[in-house]
Structure 1
Amino acid sequence: MAQVAVKVVEKQNNDENIMGVDLGLKVPVVAVTSNSKTRFFGNGRQNKYIRRKYKVLRQQLGKAKQLKKIKQIGNKEQRWMKDQDHKISRQIVNFAKENHVSVIRLEKLTNIRNTARTSRKNEKNLHTWSFYRLSKYIEYKANLEGIKVEYVNPKYTSQKCPKCQTLNKANDRKYVCKCCGYRTHRDRVGALNIMKAPMADGVA
């Protein structure tokens, strides 16, 4: 076994655009840039299928008292999830580079399991998916490209109208403002508001 230390020089980034990133379950990631570009990343249905598949396997092995195999498939599931997070975080950073983004803004994840928008049937999936890990993958890949990552206060990011600031509740995946009529995908609203939200430490 050998350990090799490599010093990586971070790039300088003089671009001016900002990008808001919203993390979720049905739509894993939505990114919106200040130059009006939007992209959806990941496959929420595929993620849910894989988690359900491994859950059934664990139940079957548990009944058969095959504890060693339960541990093995648990490790396999975690490797798959980490691989997905690596791929998605790379796609997000590449999208930021394509759109000359200097700052990526994410929700501060301290209480995401209490505040995330999810139904009761998705609650277990929320607890098995690592939003924190994905955000950290985005952060270190972004920093290598000279892109700064900031964490913002997530309060009302899913409800506030990006146009008139009125609070509304989305109907499934559709967001329609009852005041000004603004409409778009619900998770896109989250990304837009994250892009404009105050930083989590109170600094604008």
Structure 2
Amino acid sequence: YCIPLKKASMDLSTDTITIKKVDYGFSLSDLLTKKKKKNWNEKVPKQYTSVVIPNRLEEHVDACNYAEIVWRNGAYWFCYAVQVPEQDLSAYEKKVAGGDLGEIHAVTVATEDRALVLSGRTMRSISQFHAKALAELSKKMSRCKKGSRQWKKYKDARNRLRQTSKNQLEALEHKTTKEIVAFLEAEKVTHLVIGNVSGIEKGTKKNEQKKRKQNKMRRQQLSLWNPGKIKQKLTYKAKLKGIHVTETEESYTSQDCPFCGGRHRAKGRTFICSVHKTEIHRDVNGAQNIARKHHHMAVRPLVSVVFKQPVWYQKFLSKPHKQGETSLQDKPPTGKSIAGRTA
């Protein structure tokens, strides 16, 4: 839940933030109980107080027009909104890039001659572990009496698991989009076209006549995949850098050849044209074809295609000679189930 705050209810200074509030003589439950009684016209006493918190804002406090006090992760957070001016890229020449969202590769951006591919396997593994652990905890909770001590332990473990997975995924989404925006800024891109993946789950419904065996597995993969958050973070970060962002429909973009315009099914992660014998990464080809749907992009050989994996554990940020070493903490615990380890 959150408590909205307007500018009139806050006094902002360089050192402190003073929030004005009103205290009543009764608690909220007593106040609601008294108002239900008939012929009750007693005035509720009010007492104006204030709460002072330290000011740790990085932006100018004069630009803050709205704020919220939010309960998150077991603590209160002061969330504020300020208007940040966008960068002006009118002096740059027009340069277009396309963005392709995916499950294995979270985001792939490509210009005429360069591309960046960011893996999404870590996010997929976290989502899969989260789903399996929740299923096992729910199964154990169903065997316990509701409200018992063991039931409450499993419930707390489930809440901790949800919050941990949410924090890990959010951190990875921010790091992924940060890498993409840094690449666009280095390449001086002015226009970004992102493929719209809505409706991709169509055609995965169970059909007894066609007898598709992978429908259930594919539906599970798509239900765990959340491209909307990545697209939202990528859009607002790119707009802050002055990049114009648009969306377009992306069907068959990874199967169209940029040279002959023919449509060929990709084998694995590589697209091969049977006419020109062109070999290109299917996600890079899709990102370039997405950009060509709205803007002109010349067909050139790729100079570089960079593959990156967003790092989310601090222990992997150590020196290179330490990354090869293993410790007992790196090994997964054995002998216990997922629910047992979580609880």
Q: Which interval holds the TM-score relative to the shorter structure?
A: 0.7 to 0.9
Residue 73 in 1 paired to residue 161 in 2?
yes
Q: Work out the CA distance in 1 between the residues paired with 2:285 and 2:180.
A: 18
CA distance in 1, matches of 2:118, 2:203: 21
CA distance in 2: counterparts of 1:135 and 1:21, whole angstroms: 10
In structure 2, distance between residues paired with 1:124 and 1:6: 39
Larger Rg: 2
Report which of the two has the higher share of strand: 2
TM-aligned CA distance change 1:42 to 1:153, over 3 Å: same
The one-letter code matched in structure 2 to 1:96 is: L
TM-superposed CA distance for 1:58, in Å, is: 1.2
Change (3 A) 1:172 1:79: same
Tell me the equivalent position of 1:202: none
- Alignment counterpart, residue 119 of structure 2, candidates 32, 42, 46: 42
Aligned counterparts, 1:123-162, within 5 A: 123-162=219-258
Give 1:37-186 correspondences, 5 Å limit: 37-44=114-121, 46-65=122-141, 66-114=154-202, 120=215, 121-186=217-282
**How far apart are residue 83 of structure 1 and its match?**
1.6
* TM-score, normalisation: structure 2: 0.53
Cα contact 1:54–1:73 (8 A) shared by 2: yes
TM-score by length of 1: 0.86
Which is bigger in relative contact order (C-alpha 8 A, separation at least 6)? 1
Q: Assess, with a 3 A threshold, how the Cα gap between structure 1 residues 99 and 115 changes in structure 2: closer, same or farther.
A: farther
Is the contact made by 1:51 and 1:125 (CA closer than 8 Å) also made in structure 2? no
Segments of structure 1 that go 5 or more residues without pairing to the other structure are 200-204
Percent identity between the two aligned chains: 24
TM-aligned CA deviation for residue 28 of structure 1? 1.4
Structure 2 unaligned residues grouped into runs of 5+: 4-18, 20-66, 68-79, 142-153, 205-213, 296-343
Name 1:19's counterpart in structure 2.
97
Q: CA RMSD in A?
A: 2.2
Aligned equivalents of 2:171 and 2:81: distance in 1?
A: 24
For residues 226 and 135 of structure 2, the distance between their equivalents in structure 1, rounded to whole angstroms, comes to: 22
Q: Residue type matched to 1:39 in 2?
A: L
Aligned residues: 195
Distance 1:115 1:157, change over 3 A: farther
CA distance in 1, matches of 2:203, 2:294: 17
Q: 1:187 to 1:115 in 2, by over 3 A?
A: farther
Q: In the TM superposition, what whole-angstrom CA distance separates every residue of 1:112-136 from its partner, at most 9, and x where no partner exists?
A: 33389xx654542322221111111
Tell me the equivalent position of 1:31: 109
Which stretch has the larger CA shift, 60-69 or 92-101?
60-69
Q: If each structure's helix is expressed as a fraction of its own residues, which one has the higher value?
A: 1
Query: Is the contact between residue 197 and residue 249 of structure 2 (CA under 8 Å) also seen in structure 1?
Result: no
Greater shift after overlay, 132-141 or 8-17?
A: 8-17
Q: Is the 8 A contact 1:153 1:198 kept in 2?
A: no
